[in-house]
């Protein structure tokens, strides 16, 4: 079988890719997608180690995570819409009326 460390490395890689996206992308939607990547990195771990440990806790939680991710996106899209309306654009770096 595949040693668990590999799963960890994979998930870490995915997580970092997501993080990289967040740090570099200014488009709100891409930002959201990157977050999804990070969440899925977590899911990789959960599922993999659910197998390693031989219990389904991980898989179940993985499902929950996906559902929550969807909900999050729903709320996020809403917010991005109003963002688009009031700042006519989805560039997250435009909204800087409040600072310091």
- 65 touches other proteins by CB under 8 A: yes
- Options 17, 29, 42, 89; binder of other proteins; rule CB under 8 A: 42
- 82 touches other proteins by CB under 8 A: yes
Q: Give the binding-site size for other proteins (rule: CB under 8 A).
A: 55
- 89 touches other proteins by CB under 8 A: no
Per-residue tokens: 40: 């899925």
- 56 touches other proteins by CB under 8 A: no
- DSSP three-state, residue 91: strand
**Rounded to 5 degrees, what are φ and ψ at 75?**
-60, -45
- 51 touches other proteins by CB under 8 A: no
Exposure b/e, 20-44, CB count within 10 A at least 16 = b: ebbeebeebeebbebbbbbbbbbbb
- 19 touches other proteins by CB under 8 A: yes
């Amino acid at each position: 079988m595949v040693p668990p460390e590999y799963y960890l490395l994979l998930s870490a890689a995915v997580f970092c890719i997501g993080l990289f996206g967040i740090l570099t992308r200014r488009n709100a939607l891409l930002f959201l997608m990157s977050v999804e990547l990070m969440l899925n990195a977590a899911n990789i771990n959960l599922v993999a180690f659910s197998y390693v440990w031989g219990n389904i806790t991980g898989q179940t939680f993985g499902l929950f995570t996906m559902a929550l991710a969807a909900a999050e996106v729903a709320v996020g899209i809403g917010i991005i819409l109003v963002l688009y309306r009031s700042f006519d654009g989805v560039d997250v770096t435009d909204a800087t009326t409040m600072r310091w």
